[in-house]
């Protein structure tokens, strides 16, 4: 098995339903469940999006605002881009499962795991559909060989930095805000990454 970290320009995914979030200051995407090109995600924004646009986008099956503090807006939603990919000749059922690694104003980075042939075919299909795909990293992948393999790359990065900065020391020598500053993200996003990483690690160790 191989694991690839790929990136695609933010402009390329705008027509798939992401433009409304980009216009509202898209900060982060966390995939909670995924099957083919359909998945449930938690989306972090710096501004409140146009809810009329949300209702009109075909790729968004349902959405719900789950949190806001005036500085950040968090939405839970289900997106399905199967039909859009099919029109471009891409069979979503053949795509490896992906996880977002990083989202910014310029590009969306994500990781996929599969055989070398599966990954190569997936990249070729996306390029044929008009996506300009950049391969940022490729490495051997051994599923669940260690407890840390239960984490996405982003979760592992945040957890490792938290440990290095003393977040898990007793007494605690760091804060989520300090960790967030290192990544250029919001403190609440760091909390979510750490909580999910801790949950995944404990589930692996205690199951």
Q: Where are the domains of the chain?
A: 2-140, 147-206
Q: Does 24 have pLDDT greater than 90? A: yes
> For residue 187, what are its two tokens?
């403190």
CA–CA distances in Å: residue 175 to residues 33, 60, 171 = 29, 35, 11
Q: Average of pLDDT values for 2-28? A: 87
Could you tell me the pLDDT band of residue 48, with boundaries at 50, 70 and 90?
Answer: very high
Nearest in space to 127 (alpha carbons), one of 85, 164, 156, 161: 85
Note the pLDDT tens digit of each residue in 156-190. Answer: 899 999 999 999 998 889 999 999 999 888 888 89
Cα separation, 105 vs 12, whole angstroms: 12
Q: Does 144 have pLDDT greater than 90? A: no
Question: 127 or 95: whose pLDDT is higher?
Answer: 127
Q: Average of pLDDT values for 105-127? A: 84
Mean pLDDT, rounded, of the chain = 85
> For residue 122, what are its two tokens?
């997936």
CATH of 147-206, one of 1.10.1070, 1.10.10, 1.10.287, 2.40.128: 1.10.10
Contact 120, 108 (CB under 8 A): no
């Amino acid at each position: 098995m191989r694991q690839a970290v790929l990136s695609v320009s933010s402009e390329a995914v705008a027509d798939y339903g992401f433009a409304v979030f980009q216009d509202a200051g898209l900060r982060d995407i966390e995939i909670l469940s995924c099957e083919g090109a359909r998945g449930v995600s938690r989306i972090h924004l710096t501004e409140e999006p146009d809810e009329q646009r949300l209702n009109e986008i075909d790729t968004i099956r349902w959405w719900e605002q789950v949190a806001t503090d005036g500085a950040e807006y968090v939405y839970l939603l289900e997106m399905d881009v199967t039909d859009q990919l099919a029109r471009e000749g891409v069979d979503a059922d053949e795509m490896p499962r992906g996880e977002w690694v990083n989202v910014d104003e310029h590009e969306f980075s994500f990781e996929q795991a599969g055989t070398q042939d599966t990954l190569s075919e997936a990249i070729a299909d996306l390029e044929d559909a008009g996506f300009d795909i950049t391969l940022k990293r490729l490495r051997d992948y051994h599923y669940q060989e260690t407890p840390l393999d239960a984490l996405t790359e982003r979760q592992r990065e945040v957890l490792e930095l938290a440990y290095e900065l003393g977040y898990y020391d007793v007494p605690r020598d760091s804060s989520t805000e300090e960790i967030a500053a290192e990544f250029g993200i919001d403190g609440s996003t760091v909390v979510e990454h750490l909580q999910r990483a801790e949950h995944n690690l404990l589930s692996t160790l205690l199951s």
